Amino acid sequence: MTKFLKFASLGLASAAFAACTTTGNIERNAAGGAAAGAAIGAGIGAVSGDVKVSEGAAAGAVVGGVIGAIRGNERDRDLVGGTTQRPVLDTSRRYYDDRTGRYYYYEQGTSRTFYENFERRS
């Protein structure tokens, strides 16, 4: 059980350090997913008699890291509309959002809307 606690605390510490970085969504989510996966894998390894705690933690870290990276990539796509380029906004006319108190524009050729700082309006 002490090995489980060591791996769980290591995973939580990794997640805390990953949250403090200035990297992108992919890196943050991959690190967080790896830490959570390691903790869950170590727990499964401790409970089941078939898998060692260290093997469960390693397998969980790999699976969690991959899932976290995929989730971060999807989040980046949602933020910038599927590309890494800024949207081309029709700035000839701006609209006011009463709910948020901010101005927004329509993207040229689509019906998507973005705030003045290119943040997607939902």
Instruction: Show me where the domains of the chain are located.
Output: 2-80, 86-122
3-state secondary structure of 66: helix
Nearest to 107 by CA among 84, 80, 76: 80
User: Model pTM greater than 0.85?
Assistant: no
Distance CA 88, CA 90 (A): 7
Per residue of the chain (122 residues), give pLDDT as tens: 567 666 666 666 665 555 554 456 777 888 888 888 888 888 888 887 777 888 888 888 888 888 888 887 777 666 655 555 677 888 889 999 999 999 999 988 888 899 988 888 87
The pair of structure tokens assigned to 73 is 């990539």
Contacts of 41 (CB under 8 A, 6+ apart): 56, 57, 58, 59, 60, 61, 63, 64
| Per-residue confidence (pLDDT) for residue 104, from 0 to 100 | 94
- 56 class by beta-carbon count within 10 Å (0-12 exposed, 13-18 middle, 19+ buried): buried
Question: First CA to last CA across the chain, in angstroms?
Answer: 46
